[in-house]
Structure 1
């Protein structure tokens, strides 16, 4: 299945305003290629780049777990399947919580200075 650039398209749509039509109909020069963004210089671009890569990898692995449902090749119990999906759900919940600012601040706890 071909890789899709979901995050890049969504972020580009949010961050760019529609361009106004030029007043003249003169032919426009070819658009220059954007310079390659150096890693670590643009945090938003780094996020998009890594999020696309990691999202795609996770989706592929989940599809592989789904392949285990083929009863002609594998035998499993309901408890085994429940354990797999419970652990996946726990990790998803933990990852989602890390994106919430309030949860991040709670984990750190208050600063206590001792004299």
Structure 2
């Protein structure tokens, strides 16, 4: 896993731990509300990668931040796919321009043949 992703998970886990502590919730009560064991909660708060995304999502729901999940992979935020879309549009434009230029050249050649005297 990329280091930046590991760091983001660690920060998410730490932020969720802070949210729990600010609510003065014990590990036992928070784990119960999440439907997980205390060791799993501790792993989540440590940002471990093996913790299921559903557990992170439920923790976000408990603190009222689950709405942010809908935008995480929204197509309009997918920079890589947007770049590909732009490149495909550019390539299509070039192909159409080339085809149009070829068609125009053929028309000119056909007109020139029609206008030249037959031998």
Whichever structure has more helix as a proportion of its residues is 2
Q: Compute the TM-score of the two structures, normalised by the length of structure 2.
A: 0.29
Which structure has the bigger radius of gyration?
Answer: 2
Q: Compute the TM-score of the two structures, normalised by the length of structure 1.
A: 0.30
RCO greater where, 1 or 2, for CA within 8 Å and sep 6 or more?
1
